Structure 1
Amino acid sequence: MDRVVAWFCRLVFVFLYVPIVAVVVYSFNASEVSYRFTGLTTHWYSDLFHDDRLLATLRTSIVVGVLAALVATAIGFLTAFSLARFQVKGRAFFLGAILIPLIVPEIVIGVSLLEVFSSIGMQTGILTLVLGHIVITLPLATLVQMGAMAALDPSLSEAATDLGATGWITFRRVLFPLLRPSVLAAFLLSFTTSFSNIVISTFTSGVGSTTLPLRIYSSLRTGLTPELNALGTLLVLFTLVVIFLVGVRQMRRILA
């Protein structure tokens, strides 16, 4: 039985990582079609850096993702801290209201946001994109940070107060350093969710605010270009670098 489970786990990992390996391999394919491998080349990377329209959509996705993740992480932190540390009346109601976007289908949220923006006369663009992405990333950021705050020992604050620390010093010198990994995790999760979103972006984007996933989705009609494989390879490499740096930092903290 253990051997069956082990082989099943190997097949799952193969299923997960074979598409990523295929993107990396075909980013060096000399052929313009992905179903035929004719040799190795790196000129798709050169074409990628000269494709201004594709790079513009990448910049839009990064800007929107960073802004939405920052706002969602900040609001989620304040919300989680309030709900975890204080006796708030209507706690279940507020928590349920924040988590509703996780239950409601994104297409319903997208249509609702578009109707709200249209009713108040707001033109779709970067601002509406950021607002829409905050709606779907806020529940994730709040849940991640609530779990970390619930795991904190309440006696830490009491010990800091007994030693003469004020509320702000206790938060800055004791609580926040312990919560910093969860804040970073909430930001990265929010950014990834925003960066890869298609449904909400479809309803809240406007002229000049097309994101990278929307550009790739629209390319399905005419066919995906090898430049997208090159871009995907660079994004995978960037993700591995971030994971490596975060892992090294966490390992240093553990060893210290």
Structure 2
Amino acid sequence: MDRATSWIARLVLVFLYIPIIAVIVYSFNSAAGGYTWQGFSLRWYGELFADGALLQTLGISAIVGVLAASVATVVGLLAAIALVRFPFRGSGMVLAAIVLPLIVPEIVLGVALLSVFSFLHVPLGIVTLVLGHLIITLPLTTLIMVGGFRTLDPSLIEAAADLGCTPWRTFTRVLFPLMRSSIIASWLLAFTVSLGNIVISTFVSGVGSTTMPLRVYSLLKSGLTPELNALGTLLIVLTFVIVLSVGIQQMRRILATPSGSAPAPDSTTAPR
């Protein structure tokens, strides 16, 4: 039974990574179309960097992703503090209302947002994109922050207050260092979701604010080109580098901590 489970897990992993490997391999194919290998070439990377329209949409997606992820992370952290540290009557209902967009179909959210923006005469553009992506990323960041905050020992914050720390110093010296992993995870997840979103972006994007997924989808109507494979490869490499960098930092912190003991506070994190 254990051996069968092991082989099933391996097959699932292979199935998951086959599309990624195919994108990387065919991005170096010299053929102009199709899936017949005709030799190694970097031609499509040159074509990608020469495509100003596609690079512009990539820049718009990056800007929207950074703004949406940053706002969602900050609001999610504040919401977690309010819901966990200072619980109030009806806090469960508030949390349920925050995470409600996770179970509502995105097409419904997109239509609703477009109706609201049209009623308020808000021009579609970067701002509406950020607001639309904020709706789908805020539930994710809030859930991660709530889970991370509930793992903290409340006595640490109380001890910092007893030692004379102001609320702001308690946040910067105690709470933020302890929540750093949850904050990074929330931001990366929100940025990834925003970068790849296409349903919400279809309804709330305007002229001059087309995102990369919308541009790629429009190009697919005329057929898949190796240029898109090159773009996908660069995004895969960027994601791998970010995840690897975060993982290395976390591993260094774990290895630097003596086994069975808590991390010793330093001059930057010790409450004063």
- 1:62 is matched with 62
Partner of 2:259: none
| Distance of 2:166 and 2:101 partners within structure 1 | 37
Give the aligned residue type for 2:106: E
Instruction: Look up the SS of the partner of 1:208 in the other structure.
Output: coil
| Partner-residue secondary structure (3-state), 1:31 | coil
Counterpart Cα distance in 1 of 2:77 and 2:164? 25
Contact kept, 8 Å, 1:30 with 1:37, in 2: the verdict is yes
C-alpha separation in 2, matches of 1:44 and 1:224: 13
Indicate if the aligned counterparts of 1:113 and 1:132 stay in contact, CA closer than 8 A.
yes
Whether the 8 Å contact between 2:110 and 2:204 is mirrored in structure 1 is: yes
Contact 1:148 1:182 in 2 (8 A): yes
1:71 and 2:64 matched = no
2:26·2:35 contact (CA, 8 Å) conserved in 1? no
Provide the rounded CA distance (Å) in 2 between the counterparts of 1:34 and 1:218: 18
Q: Give the secondary structure class of the aligned counterpart of 1:218.
A: helix
Q: Is 1:52 aligned to 2:70, yes or no?
A: no
Aligned partner of 1:35: which letter? Y
TM-score (norm 2): 0.92
TM-score (norm 1): 0.97
Q: What residue in structure 2 maps to residue 177 of structure 1? A: 177
Question: Given residue 109 of structure 2, which amino acid in structure 1 is its aligned partner?
Answer: I
Residue correspondences, number: 256
- 1:32 partnered with 2:16: no
CA distance in 1, matches of 2:122, 2:214: 21
1:91-240 pair list within 5 angstroms: 91-240=91-240
Give me the identity figure in percent: 61
Q: Which moved more, 1:46-55 or 1:216-225?
A: 216-225
Amino acid at match of 2:203: F
Mapped to 1, the partners of 2:34 and 2:251 lie a distance apart of: 40
Structure 1 stretches of 4+ moved >4 Å: none
- Mind listing any 5+ residue stretches in structure 1 that lack a counterpart? none
Provide the C-alpha distance between the structure 2 equivalents of 1:167 and 1:110, rounded to a whole number of angstroms. 39
* Secondary structure of residue in 1 paired with 2:179: helix
> Contact (CA 8 Å) 1:216, 1:224: kept in 2 or not?
no
More divergent stretch after superposition (211-220 vs 188-197):
211-220
Shift of 1:240: 1.1
Deviation at 1:216, TM superposition (A): 1.2
Contact 1:132 1:201 in 2 (8 A): yes
Q: Distance in 1 between matches of 2:127 and 2:171?
A: 32
- The alpha-carbon deviation at position 42 of structure 1 amounts to 0.4
Q: Corresponding residue for 1:22? A: 22
CA distance in 1, matches of 2:122, 2:168: 39
Per-residue CA distance 1:147-169 (angstroms, 9 max, x = gap): 00011111112222333333322
Shift of 1:218: 1.3
1:244 match: secondary structure: helix
SS at match of 1:33: coil
AA at the equivalent of 1:150: R
* Structure 1 residues 125-152: Cα deviation after superposition (integer angstroms, max 9, x where no partner): 1111111000110000100000000111
Give the superposed CA RMSD. Answer: 1.0
Q: Could you tell me how far 1:180 is from its partner in structure 2? A: 1.0
Distance 2:174 2:86 in 1: 18
Is the partner of 1:81 in helix, strand or coil? Answer: helix
- For 2:226, give the aligned amino acid: P
